[in-house]
Every structure is written in C-alpha cells, then in structure tokens.
Chain A
Amino acid sequence: MSPEAIVQIVTSALGIVAAVAPGVLAAITGRATDEEAIAHAVSAVHAIRTSPAEKAIEERR
C-alpha cells in the first residue's frame, strides 16, 4: 500500500472521530444546549457518504 493511501485512510478515520467527538463530549458533560445538540446530530448524519463504492469506482473511470 502506498504512503498516500495510508495517509488517506488514517485521515479519513481521524476525520470521522474529530467530526463527532466534540458533540459527544459536550453531551457527556451536559454543556450542550438543545440547539447545539441538534446542529451536531444533523452534521453527523449529513456527513455520511452515501453510495461509497459507486463514488470510489466512478472516480477511477
């Protein structure tokens, strides 16, 4: 596996965790308002990549 591919995988994994962690931490500590909780949940759901295989394969066509 090329170094670029490894970087891509690690970046993707870290990106997912980084995107969600603040909202979860805020919820755990009870500091989130309803509005903040809604914004984080909406953002997390919208961040899900749909048809991931199709996109990966079409990028290589």
Chain B
Amino acid sequence: MTELERVAPPALAALSIVAALFAFVVVSGCSPTLTPLQRRLAIIETTALTVGSASEAIHLASGVQADTDCVPLGPSGSPERGACLDLLLERWRGADTAVNGAALALGAWLAAELAGHGDTGAAMAEALRLVAELPRALAPYGVTLGGGQ
C-alpha cells in the first residue's frame, strides 16, 4: 500500500470532521435566531456529517485493502479470493459495528426530537457518546478522525 493510499481516506475524513466541528460551533454559538428545535436539528445534521465521513473513510480504506490483498489472488468467485475477503471482513467487523451503532443512535435521537416527547436528553447523550468513541474504535483500522495517527 502506498503512502497516499494509506493517508488519503483518513486525511479526508479529518478535513470533514474539522468542517463539521466548525459548523457545530457556529450553529451552537452564533445563531440566536434559530428555534431550539432548529438548533438541535443542526447539531444532529453536523453530527451526521461526522459519522458519514467516518463511514466513507472505512468504505474506502477497506476497499483499498481488499483490492491490494485479495483481488489479485484470483478471479471473482474464486475460493482463494473468497477466503481472503472472509478474513478481511472479519477484521473490519469492529469498525462496521462502531459506525452502525453511532448511526442507529443518531437516528434514535432524531426520531425522539421529531416525536417531540420529553426524553430527548437520553437519546442525545447516547448518540454523542457513541460518536465520541468513534476515533478510538477506528484507530486500530488506520482510520483517524480529527487528528494525526
């Protein structure tokens, strides 16, 4: 794997994270005209950008690894390629689990906001907790969010 292949996906993810954090700060601090609902929805939206960037970085990095390690082993459908991809899939399962958990929690938070019931705080806390854990969960896969490796 070349240096560019190793660095590009996490670097792009980091840039997106910086953009998301900038938007988060601006929306949170400089928008007195927003209604409380609009403010919370904007935070959900920028948080979705964070999770989406992490997901895209995983998609690209795992795809590059499959192209490098498994595709050259045989044609599509061959046992050699299939066995290699099975191993790769198992190796990346933790990254998928982390992103899926954050996405589900974010969806639950959004649903709670739209339903308008009182207990949106718990859904928000759970979503933000899982998103905050993403950098640590993805670091073993070489996917770095918001900083260097």
Contacts and interface: CB of A to CB of B under 8 A. Distances in A.
B53 A16 contact: yes
B95 A53 contact: yes
A6 B8 contact: yes
Interface string B1-37: 0101100110010011001100100110011011101
A9 B38 CA distance: 31
Contacts of A12: 12, 56, 59-60
B45 A8 contact: no
Contacts of B63: 56-57, 59-60
Interface string A30-57: 1010100110111011011111111111
B149 interface: no
A52 B103 CA distance: 12
Given A16-B49, A16-B56, A28 B26 contact: yes
Given A30-B31, A48-B103, A53-B93, A60 B67 contact: yes
B106 interface: yes
Interface of B: 2, 4-5, 8-9, 12, 15-16, 19-20, 23, 26-27, 30-31, 33-35, 37-39, 41-42, 44-46, 48-49, 51-53, 55-56, 58-60, 62-64, 66-67, 70-71, 76-77, 81-82, 85, 88-89, 92-93, 95-96, 99-100, 103, 106-107, 110, 114
Interface of A: 1, 5-6, 8-10, 12-13, 16-17, 20, 23-24, 27-28, 30, 32, 34, 37-38, 40-42, 44-45, 47-61
